[in-house]
A and B are shown apart, each in its own frame.
Chain A
Amino acid sequence: MRETIHNDDWTLEIYPKASLFKLNLKEVWRYRDLLILFVRRDFVSVYKQTVLGPLWFIIQPIFTSLVQLFVFTNIAQISTDGIPPILFYLSGNVMWQYFSGCLTLTSNTFQNNAGIFGKVYFPRLITPISLITSQLLKFAVQFGLFLAIWLYFFYDDSAGVINPNWTIALLPILVIIMAGLALGSGMIISALTTKYRDFSFLLSFAVQLLMYSTVVIYPLSVAPLEYRKFIVANPMTPLIETFRYAFTGSGTFSWLYLGYSFVFMVVLMLVGIVVFNKVERTFMDTV
C-alpha cells in the first residue's frame, strides 16, 4: 500500500466541529421524501382510532373561543375593538395555536426522537421542519373555519361592520414570520433541553403566560399606554393585530411593528440554526 493516496474526492468528511452556519440544505432536499412522509405520519396518526378525526382540529378553537367569549366579553367586559367577539377570539386563537403548537413540538425535537436519532442519520433539521409543516396543515383547517365564520359576519352586518382590506395579501408573510419565530425559538429550546431538562418545564408554562402578553384575548387598543410597549415587544402581537386588521379593518397595523417582528424572527432563526447545528452532532451523548 502506498503511504499517501492522492485522492481527495471524499463524499463525506466527519470532523469534531462543524462550521456555525452550515445548514446543508442540499441534504435536506435529498431527504424531501422523508419530510413528506413525516408530515403525513404526524397528520394522519394523531387522529387514528378517533370517531371525529380531523374535526378535532375545529372543535378545539371553537370551544376555546366560546369560553373566552363568555369569560372576557360577558363577565369581564373587555372590548373587542368593535369586531364581533367570536370572530375576534377565533382569530387570536387560530394564530396563537399555530405558534404555540409549533413551539412546543419543535422544542421537544431531540427528546421525542431520541430513539430514531440514536439509530440512524438523516438531517436532523427535517424533524422540526416537518413539525412546522404538519402544524401548517392544521392551521389551514382552522383558518378555513375562521374564514367560514368571517364570511357569515361579512354578509350579515347586524353584529358590526367588518372591512377587509388589501393587507389580507400579507397573510402568507404573517404565517412565514410566525413559523420562523416558532422554529427559531423551538430550535434554541430544543438544544437547551437536551442537557438541561429545566427548560421543558419552563416552556410549558411560559407558553401559557406568553399568551396573556400577546393580544389573543384583548386588543392592543385597550392596553394602557405605559404597558403597550411591552406588549408590542412581544413579536407575536404585531402578527395577530395585522391579521385582525386585514380581515376586519379594526386593530393596529404598522409597518414598523411588523418589521420588528420580522427582524426578531431572522435573529431567532440565526441563533437557532447555530445552536441546533452545534447540538445535533453530539446530543445523543447527553439527551
Chain B
Amino acid sequence: MSEPVIKIENLSKQYRLGTIGTGTIAHDLNRWWSTAILNKEDPYLKVGDKNDRGILGDSEYIWALQNINLEIHEGDVVGIIGRNGAGKSTLLKLLSRITAPTTGSIKIKGRLASLLEVGTGFHPELTGRENIYLNGAILGMTKAEVSAKLDEIIEFSGCARYIDTPVKRYSSGMTVRVGFAVAAFLEPEILVVDEVLAVGDAEFQKKAIGKMKSVSEEGRTVLFVSHNMASIKNLCTSGILLNQGGVEFIGTAEETVERYLQDDLLAYESGEVIDKGGNKHVEIVDYQTFRGPNKSISFFTGDKLTLEVTLKFNEYIGNVDLGVNFKTTGLELISHINNFDEHVSISGNKGDVKKVRIIIESINFAPGTYVIDIGMVAVGEMLHSLENCFEIDIQKGPNIGRPNIFPKNAKVFTPTRWEF
C-alpha cells in the first residue's frame, strides 16, 4: 500500500451551542484562569455531548467531531457520507484550515486545495475575467497559472460571450459555471470537495462530474462529500461513514453507501415531522391520508393514495404552488407533484380555510419505504413547508406477478402491457 498523504490523529472539534452573550465572557475568564494561571486543563473540554441533532442535551458544548483517526493514501478517491450534522463539513473545514481543531492533529503531504463552494470571493462589480483571476488566486493559484489556463477556463465555463461583463449581470447559473470552471483547473495533489457538483443545469453537472472523474483518474487524491449516493458510487474508490461526530465505517464506496442507507432506515423509525416554517401567509394546518391516525402507512404498489391538506390563508394569495415530495429514506427525491401539473390553481382570501384533496390514482413505487414532504411556495417565497409528514411502506401487491424482489436500486414500478 502506498504511503498516507493525509494522517489524522485523535482529531476532535468542539462547538459551543446557543448564542454568545454574557455567559461567554464568564466562561472565557474562567477558562483563562484555569489554563493560564492555575495551569490546569480547560474546564470546558470535559463537558460536551455527542452530536445528536434530535436529542436535547443538557450541555452547552458539543463535539462535532470526536477522536477521529484516519489515513488517506495517495490516489485514493474517498467519499465521505453521513447524515446532516454527522461532522462531514466540520472535517472538511479542519482539513482546509478554515478553523482549527480542538484536540489532535492533521498531517498533510502535498498541496491541498479545497472547494467548499464555487465562486468564493466573486465581486459583483468585476467582470467575469477579473473574477477568474481573483477566484483563482483565492484558491491558491498564481496569476501566471491562471493566465496559462484562461482560455480553457473560459471555454469550460461556456460563458465566453459574457466574460467581459460584470458578474452582477450574470444569472446564478452562469456565476456557478464560471466559478466551477476556475476550480476545475486547479492542480493540487489533494483536492477536497464539498457538495458543489449539485449545482448548475444537467448538462453542466455532467461536465462537472466528468471533470471530477478525470481528476481522480490522473491519480490525484480526492476527498468528496456528497448526499448523492449515485455520484459517490460512481466516483469514489473508498468511503468513510461518519455518524454523530465519529467514524462509523470505512470500506469501499459501495459498502459504505449500503451501510449508510441501512442506518438511515433505522433512524427514520423515530422520525418526527419537521416544520421548516416559511412566511406563513398560507399555513398547512392539517393533513391526512384517510388511512388511520398513524404517520406511518403501508400499502401495495399501484394502490390509490389520497392526501388531504387543509390550508389556512392568513393573507390573500393568488397563486399557491402546493407541492408534494416523495423521497427515499436516503433522502433522494424520486418524485415531485404540484397543482400546476394538472392546471389547477389554488388561491384564497385572508381568513379562508380550504381543504385540498390530492388523489394519486396509483402509486407506482417499487417496494420500500418512502417519505412524504408537503410544501407551498408563492412568488418565489416559501409559504410553509413540512418535511417527513408521512412514511409510506410499500409492499409488492398481488397485482405484481414477479416472484422475486425488485433489484435493489429500482425505485419506480412501470406498469406495462405485453403483446405477442
Residue ranges of A at the interface with B (Cβ–Cβ < 8 Å): 1, 5, 7, 9-18, 31, 33-34, 36-38, 41, 44-45, 48-49, 115-122, 195-196, 281-286
Question: Is A16 touching B125 in the complex (CB atoms < 8 A)?
Answer: no
Known: A13-B106, A120-B116. Contact between A31 and B140, CB under 8 A?
yes
Q: Is A116 a contact of B138 with CB atoms below 8 Å? A: yes
| Residue B149 lies at the interface, judged by CB distance under 8 Å to chain A | no
B120 near A195 with CB under 8 A, answer no
B175, chain A: closest CB distance, angstroms: 14
Contact of B3 among A7, A34, A120 (CB under 8 A): A7
Closest 10 CB pairs of A and B: A281-B100, A34-B137, A121-B97, A14-B106, A33-B143, A10-B107, A45-B125, A12-B108, A48-B125, A119-B117
- A284, B94: Cβ atoms closer than 8 Å: no
15 contacts between A and B (CB under 8 A): A10-B7, A10-B109, A12-B107, A13-B106, A16-B102, A18-B100, A33-B142, A37-B134, A37-B137, A41-B134, A116-B120, A119-B98, A121-B114, A195-B24, A282-B99
Q: A41-B123, A45-B123 are in contact. Are A14 and B94 (CB under 8 A)?
A: yes
Min Cβ gap A58→B in Å is 21
- Would you call A120 and B137 a contact (CB within 8 A)? no
Q: Is the CB of B123 within 8 A of A281?
A: no
B410 interface contact, C-beta 8 A: no
B93 at interface (Cβ–Cβ under 8 A)? yes
Which of B15, B24, B110, B125 counts the most chain A CB atoms within 10 A?
Answer: B125
Identify A120's interface contact among B7, B20, B98, B106, CB under 8 A.
B98
In whole angstroms, how far apart are the Cα atoms of A34 and B137 in the complex? 5
Q: Is the CB of B140 within 8 A of A122?
A: yes
Instruction: Let me know if B142 and A122 touch, CB within 8 A.
Output: no
Query: How many A-B residue contacts, CB cutoff 8 Å?
Result: 111
Bitwise, B1-13 to A at CB < 8 A (1) or not (0) is: 1011001000000
Set A14, A41, A115, A122: member contacting B101, Cβ < 8 A: A14
Note all chain A residues with C-beta closer than 8 A to B4.
Answer: 5
Shortest B221–chain A CB gap in Å is 13
Q: Say whether B121 contacts A120, CB under 8 Å.
A: yes
Does any Cβ of A come within 8 Å of B96's Cβ? yes
Give the Cβ gap from B51 to chain A, nearest Cβ, in Å: 14
B420 to chain A, nearest CB (A): 59
- CB neighbours of A11 from chain B (8 A): 108-112
B104 contacts chain A at the CB level, 8 A cutoff = yes
Question: Is the Cβ of B120 less than 8 Å from the Cβ of A14?
Answer: no
Q: A13-B107, A45-B126, A122-B138 are in contact. List 9 more A-B contacts (CB 8 A).
A: A10-B108, A13-B105, A14-B105, A16-B102, A33-B137, A49-B125, A119-B116, A120-B96, A281-B100
- Asked if B305 is at the interface (CB within 8 A of a chain A CB), the reply is no
Q: What is the size, in residues, of chain B's interface with A at 8 Å between Cβ atoms?
A: 49
Given the complex of chains A and B, what is the CA–CA distance between A245 and B98 in angstroms?
47
The answer for the CA separation of A49 and B125 in the assembled complex, in Å, is 9
Q: Which B residues are CB-close (under 8 A) to A49?
A: 125
Could you tell me if A118 and B98 are in contact, using CB atoms closer than 8 angstroms?
Answer: yes
Instruction: Tell me the complex Cα distance, A282–B20, Å.
Output: 15
Q: A1 touching B1 by the CB < 8 A rule?
A: yes
Please give the distance in Å from A264's CB to the nearest CB on chain B: 26
A25–B386 Cα distance when bound, in Å, is 51
Report B-chain residues with C-beta under 8 Å of the C-beta of A38.
134
Contacts of A16 on B, CB cut-off 8 Å? 100-104
Cα A45 to Cα B121 in complex, Å, equals 13
**Contact assessment for B94 and A5 in the assembled complex, using a CB-CB cutoff below 8 Å:** no
Q: Which residues of A contact B138 (CB under 8 A)?
A: 34, 116, 120, 122
| Distance of A286 Cα from B27 Cα, bound (Å) | 14
Question: Please, which residue of chain A has its CB at the minimum distance from the CB of B1?
Answer: A1
A285 to B90, CA, bound (A): 11
Give Cα A34–Cα B136 distance, bound, in whole angstroms. Answer: 9
B112 touches A281 (CB 8 A): no
8 Å CB contacts to A: which residues of B59-110? Answer: 71, 93-94, 96-110
Chain A residue at minimum C-beta to C-beta distance from B189: A11
Query: Could you say which residues of chain A place their CB within 8 Å of the CB of B15?
Result: 285
Pick the most buried of A7, A34, A48, A282: most chain B CB atoms within 10 A of its CB.
Answer: A34
**Quick one: closest A residue to B16, CB to CB?**
A285
Complex Cα spacing A147 to B94, Å:
50
Query: Complex: how many Å from CA A17 to CA B143?
Result: 32
Across-interface contacts of A10 in B (CB, < 8 A): 7, 107-109
A41 CA to B138 CA, complexed, in Å: 13
A9 B109 Cβ-Cβ under 8 A: yes
A50 → chain B, closest Cβ, in Å?
A: 11
Contacts of A36 in B (CB 8 A): 143
From A10, A119, A195, name the one whose CB has the most chain B CB atoms within 10 angstroms: A119
Taking the complex as formed, is B365 at the interface, i.e. its CB lies under 8 A from any CB of chain A?
A: no
- B133 in the interface (beta carbon within 8 A): yes
A34 to B139: give the CA distance in the assembly, Å: 9
Pair B96/A121 contact, Cβ less than 8 Å: yes
Interface residues of B in 1-57 (CB under 8 A from A): 1, 3-4, 7, 15-16, 20, 24-25, 28
